[in-house]
Amino acid sequence: MSQLRPALLAVALTLAIATPAQAAAGPAITVENGRTQPVFSYADAVREHVYVESGVDSDADGRPDRVRVDIIRPKESGPGLKVPVIIDESPYYDNSGRGNEAERKVYDSAGNVTKFPLFYDNYFVPRGYAVLNVDMLGTTRSDGCPDIGGKADVLGGKAVVDWLNGRARAFRADGTPATADWTTGKSAMIGKSYDGTLANAVAATGVEGLETIVPISAISSWYKYQRSNGVVYSYDYASWLADYIDTDPQAKCQAVRDRMDAEDGDDTGNSNAFWAERDYLSGLLGDASKVRASVFVVHTVNDLNVKPDNFSTWWDALARRGVPRKIWVGQYQHVDPFDFEGRRDVWVDTLHRWFDHWLLGVRNGVMSEPRADVQTGPTSWITQRDWPAPLAARLPLRPSADGGLGLRPAARGATASFADVAMDEADMIADVGTAKPGRVAFTTGPLPLDLRLSGTPTADLTVRLDKPTSNLTALLVDFGDAARVDWRRGQGITTLTEEDCHGESTAADDACYKKVVTNVANRPAEIVARGWIDVQNRASLSDPSPLPVGTFGKVRWRTLPQEYTFAKGHRLALVVAGTDSTYSEEPGTGANVTLDLAASSVSVPFVLGTALTDVPGNRAGFRGPSRVELPEAEPEFSFF
């Protein structure tokens, strides 16, 4: 019996080894070292297009809008080899283009795409994925009218996921039905800006089959994109953007644009049903509680196009729901992680492992790594357990009558006043030691140590007005020379002539893209955090309540989030002003604003580490004991 066991074991091992070898004789996705391998020909891939029926009629022509879907997939894919899908749905394929090099689709005589923008097709198709470039409804070769985050935008993309799972119809150009018999039905959505916004929106519907999304610099609430607590950034923006992305004749969708202008509530800045339809946190079409997909968020804290409260509130909502997630937080402006200097290879590999894990079930450890990658300087990154930094705790900084900013409240009855006039940020922070009628400013002395801000500061002000309302701006400013990412120039990057390649190429579609370097500048000051509010929206975004004239009232709101280190020896400042003309087209209300200093503060999430110490003899220094006991951190997911 003891001699028989080795013989049986040898037979079993032979059978075990032989079975995969037989299976490998046919087309198969290959995994090595936790990553799918490029075993399929990119040049021979199937390139085709279909039109998916959406179920919405946004152009009111009596027919359901059809969504144009351009497909590239391995030649071997079909009923015998089903592959997962990566979707980039975009309104930009025939206007601004995609990526740093503004690539557009290029078509052959049969109407199929021969050049797919970006590297996703070049890299992932050889590894056993299908890549779909989807024209958002109302753009490029899709039917309909764009409605800027509304029903058509959302349900058009959802219909594509439904079609991949047999729940929607699609047709070829000749009108014959098209079925997706070549896919597992498991899909991902990815993209930057509007493309990533569509990924958020479709995920918020809870559609089955969408396994993961990768929203990059993406909107989670169109109200947040165009408003801040009642303050309007720009007027009639939705209709302007709809006109920009729609290359059809003007007349086709004019009625849709007119309706958006009538419904957007620009005259008040309040939230209403128009914005609720376009809110993916808790809106009419979907919300974070319905998200089934895992989420890999990428955003930059200096993105003042899609402002970073769009990612921070979305991230918090997903965390409350326990959604599997990962995040990269950068320092640039509106920049794709493919163009973060020194991170391109890291990005491609991380994305590769993310898709392999969520779409193919590959066990590669991507979910065991620290959840957050955070840029802490022009070329420096750290990883940490989560974002914001788990050890961040809120420290209330308080203004005083002598222009200081410290830990102790001002004397009771101390006030400071300014007028709500339209003023740009450069004027707001200039000459902070000099009185200006449109702002008040408070500064610390030289900081005794480095202070890292990680998260979202909160402005907590008590004000009195001589008119029913006023716009308020709160700025946190770092005064001190330092080399910082120059996100104002080229959004923080300069594009070089040298290229590198990620994926396989053809004569029509190469996988090579120009490298970039980070723009760095030494500046004497940097606005670190910004926040705006219309005082009458202090309690509700949809139901305004004017502040009784001559009466002090509490105004508390969150600024935009940040990730920033104030260097030792620098000064930290709080500037409070009226209307910020740098980011809002609103005129100032002209109200005189009186700030109750004793009842006002800004709460800043600093990372615990070295204790703050007093700065003896400096009237503007931190006032308090030699060692500061930091207050208990606020609950991680509180909203104001």
> Which listed residue (70, 264, 303, 614) is catalytic?
303
> In whole angstroms, how far apart are CA 407 and each of 55, 167, 311, 530, 630?
58, 60, 30, 21, 10
CA distance 586 to 471: 9
334 labelled catalytic = yes
Given phi > 0 = left and psi -120 to 50 = alpha, else beta, which region is 630? beta
Residues 6+ apart with CB under 8 A from 446: 568, 569, 570, 571, 615, 618, 621
The secondary element (H helix, E strand) that includes residue 122 is helix 120-124
Residue (of 231, 205, 201) closest to 218 by Cα position: 201
CA distance 435 to 428: 11
Half-sphere exposure of 291 (CA within 13 A, CB side): 30
> Which listed residue (77, 90, 142, 193) is catalytic?
193
65 labelled catalytic = no
Q: Are 138 and 152 in contact (CB under 8 A)?
A: yes
> Which phi and psi angles does 98 have, rounded to 5°?
-120, 140
Q: Which two tokens stand for residue 94?
A: 């025939």
Q: Which residue has the tokens 């606020």?
A: 634
Q: Are 355 and 188 in contact (CB under 8 A)?
A: yes
2 labelled catalytic = no
Residues 6+ apart with CB under 8 A from 444: 397, 404, 405, 406, 571, 572, 573, 615, 620, 621, 622
Q: Is the dihedral of CA 515, 517, 197, 362 positive or negative?
A: positive
> Which listed residue (195, 279, 299, 334) is catalytic?
334
> Which phi and psi angles does 107 have, rounded to 5°?
-115, 155
Q: Are 292 and 203 in contact (CB under 8 A)?
A: yes
**Catalytic annotation, residues:** 193, 303, 334
